[in-house]
Chain A
Amino acid sequence: MIRIVDVTKSFGENKALSGVSLDIFDGELFVLIGPDGAGKSTLFRILVTLLLPDKGHVLIKGLDVVKDFWKIRTIMGYMPGTFSLYPDLTVEENLAFYARIFGTSLQKNYPLIRDVYEQIEPFKKRAAGKLSGGMKQKLALSCALIHRPEVLVLDEPTTGVDAASRKEFWQMLKNIQQEGITVIVSTAYMDEASRGDRACFLHKGKLLKAGTPEEIRESYPYPLYACRSKDNFALLKVLRNEPSTASAMLYGKTIHYSPARKNFSVGTFLSDLEKTGKYGSIEYRKTTPSVEDSFAFLSKQ
C-alpha cells in the first residue's frame, strides 16, 4: 500500500501541496485528476523520491520516501511528464540503457513489455527523437517498465496524444495492472477519471475527493439536468447569473445544470426562460452525474 499522510510542499511563496492525505492500494489502477498547476507532478515527484515533503510523510510498501529512497528507487517505475528519452539514441539503445541502469536486461523482462514494445519494435533502429508522439509514449512506457517495478508512476502520459492512442494507452495500462503492478496515472483530462479503479481530484494543492468512479458520481449533491437550446452560451450565462442555480457548465453539446433547492421546479423555470424568446426552444432531461460533473463541481467550491 502507498500511504500519503498530510503532505505539504512549497516552492518559495508558492504552495504546491497542502495537507494531502491519500491511500493507494496494491494492484490498483489509480488516477490522479487535476488541472495544470494543481500539484500533480509535485506529488508524483515526492512519491518517486525526487522531492522531499516539507511536512507529512509517504510510505511505499512500508518504505519511507525520505529515509529508504535507495530501496524505493529499485521498486519504482517512473515516466516523467517531459519526454525523458535520449533523442539521439535508437529505440533499442534507449531501452537497453534503462534496462542496464536498473541492473536487468531486455530479454529478462521482455514478456512484461511485449504488449507495448511490439508496436514500436519495427522501428527499433530509429532514433527516438524521430518517433511520432504516440510511439514516443510507448517507448517511454517500455523504459519505465523494463525493470518490472512494483509501482509504476506515470505523469500525464496522455497529454498531447490523440483520442484513439489515448484509449489504446489506457488499455495497455490495464494490461500492466493485470501483472500485479500498482499503476498511478495523472491526467488533466476529466473524461479519463473513470478509466481507473479509483480516482482522486487535486485542485490548487488540495485533495478534494478520492474514491471509485461510482462513489465520486454519487457524491454529487444536486439533481442534474442536461439542457439544450439554440444558443447554449447565452443560456449558460443566464443560468449562471440566476441565484437559484447551484451549478451550470457546458458538457459536450449540452449544459449540465443543477438548481440549488430540492423542490425547485425546473420545468417552470426553463419554460419561463423559453418565453423570453432569446434562446429558442429549450430541451431538458434529468441525467445522472458523471465523475466529471462531480469534480467540476468540487473545483468550484
Chain B
Amino acid sequence: MKRFLAFTIKEFRHILRDTRTLLILFGIPVAEIIIFGYVVTNEIRHVPVVILDKSRDVTTQKITDRILASPWFLEETTIQSEQEIHDLFKKGNVRLAVIFGQDFEKNLMRGGKVPIQVIADGSDPNAARLMVGYLSAIAIQAQKDLNKEKETTGRLLIKSRMEFNPELKGAFMFVPGTIAMILMLISAMMTSISIAREKETGTMEAMLVSPLHPLQIILGKVVPYVAIAFVDAVIIMALGGVIFGVPLKGSLLLLMGEVILFIFLSLSLGIMLSTMSSTQMEAMFLSLFVLLLPTVLLSGFIYPIEDMPVALQWFSALMPARWFIVILKSIMLKGAGFLFVWKETLILAGMTLLFLLVSIKKFTIRLE
C-alpha cells in the first residue's frame, strides 16, 4: 500500500508540475463545452412566436404590442386553443408561445401575482433561455408602466417551461457528447502517453526491476486521472447547466456512478493502448486515431447513428462512447432511472473488464 501511495504521489506531481498538461486537463473541457454550446446556438432575432390571449383586454393587448414591437419576436400566427401550440412546435413553425390566462387585467387590478405562461422550444436550450430572458425584460418594463398608470400593486409573473422534440435531437446532445469525448481524451490519451513516456525515458526499466507489482503500477498511474477526469465531468455538467440550461432530470448519484464507470473504461482502454506502443508519439497517434476520431464520428455525437450506413451502424456499436452517450441522454434529459439504462451499463462494464484483462495480460513484467 505504501508503495502504491508513493507511486500515486509521484503521478500527481508529474501532472501538477507540467503546465501544458494541466492546461489540457482543465482548459480543453471548458473551452470545448463553450465552443460547442455557442456554435449550435442561433442568433436570437425575429423568433417566430405565437400568442394565445384568453383575456383579450387592454392590458394584454399592451403587453402583446410591446413583445411584437421588440426586434426579437415576430408574430407567426394566432391561435384559439392550447392544443394547437404543441402541433406548431412539432412542425417547427414557432419557437416560443406566450399565453395570457382569463381575466388577466381583472386579476392584476386586484393586486395579485398574475402569471404569463411562456413555452419555449427546448431543443436549442441556449436560445430558449435567451428568449425567455428577453421576454421577462419586456414584462418587467410593462409592469413598471402599468403600476404607474393604473396605480396597482399587481405583479406580472413569467412562468416558463420548455417543450422538447420527442427524440431530443439537437443542441442538448453536445453536453453528453462532450463529456464522453473529454473523458476519453483525458483518461485514455493521457494515461497511455504517460505510461509510454516512462518506457521511452527508461524509468520504466528502473521501475520494473523493483518489487512493484504490475497492478500497483497500473493503479498508481490511473488513480490521479480518475480524480481529474471526474472533476472535469463535473465542470462540464455544471457549465452545461449554468450557461446553456442543460437539465439534469434523473438521479445525480446514478449519473456520477455511470461517469465513473466510463472513466474506468477509458482508463483501461488507455492502459491497453500503452501496452501496444513504446513511444509517446505512438501512444498519441494510437489514441487519436483509434479512440478520439471514431468516438467523435461514430458515437452518434456528431452524426446521428440512424443516418449511418448499416455497416457503420454495426461498427458504432463497438464504440464505448455510443453507449455512454445513450446513458447520459437518458439520465440527464429524460430523467430515466437505472432500469432504463442497465443494458448499456452492462455493455460498458463488460468492455471495461475486457480491456483491463487484456492490459494486465499484456503489461509485461519484463522488457519483452
Residues of A near any B CB (own CB < 8 A) = 45, 48-52, 69-70, 73-74, 76, 78-89, 93, 96-98, 100-103, 143-144
- Look across to chain A and name the residue whose beta carbon is closest to the beta carbon of B15: A88
CB neighbours of A84 from chain B (8 A): 201-203, 205-206
CA distance A84 to B210 in the complex (A): 13
B6 touches A101 (CB 8 A): yes
B154 → A minimal CB distance (Å): 66
A89 touches B202 (CB 8 A): no
A100 touches B208 (CB 8 A): no
CA distance A49 to B2 in the complex (A): 24
Q: Choose one: A49, A73, A86, A143; the contact of B10 (CB below 8 Å).
A: A86
CB neighbours of B210 from chain A (8 A): 73, 98, 101-102
CB neighbours of A70 from chain B (8 A): 211
CB neighbours of A82 from chain B (8 A): 201-202, 205
B249 → A minimal CB distance (Å): 44
A69 touches B202 (CB 8 A): no
Instruction: Scan B350-368; emit 1 where CB is below 8 A from any A CB, else 0.
Output: 0000000000000001111
* In the assembled complex, B7 has its CB within 8 A of some CB on chain A: yes
Q: Choose one: B6, B209, B211; the contact of A97 (CB below 8 Å).
A: B6
CA distance A85 to B197 in the complex (A): 12
CA distance A81 to B13 in the complex (A): 25
User: For chain B residues 162-211, which have a beta carbon within 8 Å of chain A?
Assistant: 201-203, 205-211
Q: Choose one: A49, A78, A83, A101; the contact of B3 (CB below 8 Å).
A: A101
A101 touches B207 (CB 8 A): yes
Q: Choose one: A78, A85, A93, A96; the contact of B209 (CB below 8 Å).
A: A78
- Look across to chain B and name the residue whose beta carbon is closest to the beta carbon of A70: B211
Q: Choose one: A51, A69, A78; the contact of B206 (CB below 8 Å).
A: A78
CB neighbours of B212 from chain A (8 A): 101
- Look across to chain A and name the residue whose beta carbon is closest to the beta carbon of B7: A101
CA distance A100 to B365 in the complex (A): 19
Known: A86-B203, A101-B7. A50 touches B208 (CB 8 A): yes
CB neighbours of B367 from chain A (8 A): 45, 50-51
Known: A49-B209, A85-B203. A100 touches B366 (CB 8 A): no
* In the assembled complex, B18 has its CB within 8 A of some CB on chain A: yes
Centre residue among B5, B13, B207, B210 by max chain A CB count within 10 A? B210
- Look across to chain A and name the residue whose beta carbon is closest to the beta carbon of B209: A78
Centre residue among A52, A73, A76 by max chain B CB count within 10 A? A73
B366 touches A88 (CB 8 A): no
A76 touches B209 (CB 8 A): yes
CA distance A82 to B203 in the complex (A): 9
CB neighbours of A45 from chain B (8 A): 205, 367
CA distance A74 to B213 in the complex (A): 12
CB neighbours of A89 from chain B (8 A): 10, 13-14, 17
A-B CB contact pairs (8 Å), 29 listed:
A48-B209, A49-B209, A49-B366, A50-B209, A69-B365, A70-B211, A78-B209, A79-B206, A82-B201, A82-B205, A83-B201, A84-B206, A85-B203, A86-B14, A86-B203, A88-B13, A88-B14, A88-B17, A89-B10, A89-B13, A89-B14, A93-B10, A98-B210, A100-B2, A100-B3, A100-B5, A100-B6, A102-B210, A143-B206
CA distance A85 to B6 in the complex (A): 15
CA distance A12 to B72 in the complex (A): 73
Centre residue among A50, A73, A102, A103 by max chain B CB count within 10 A? A50
User: For chain B residues 202-235, which have a beta carbon within 8 Å of chain A?
Assistant: 202-203, 205-212
B234 → A minimal CB distance (Å): 27
B365 touches A80 (CB 8 A): no
- Look across to chain B and name the residue whose beta carbon is closest to the beta carbon of A9: B368
CA distance A69 to B212 in the complex (A): 12
CB neighbours of B211 from chain A (8 A): 70, 73-74, 101-103
Q: Choose one: B2, B7, B13, B205; the contact of A50 (CB below 8 Å).
A: B205
- Look across to chain B and name the residue whose beta carbon is closest to the beta carbon of A72: B209
- Look across to chain B and name the residue whose beta carbon is closest to the beta carbon of A81: B202
Known: A51-B367, A69-B365. A88 touches B18 (CB 8 A): yes
B36 → A minimal CB distance (Å): 33
CA distance A227 to B112 in the complex (A): 118
A50 touches B366 (CB 8 A): yes
B218 → A minimal CB distance (Å): 14
CA distance A81 to B203 in the complex (A): 11
Centre residue among A83, A89, A101, A144 by max chain B CB count within 10 A? A101
CA distance A47 to B207 in the complex (A): 15
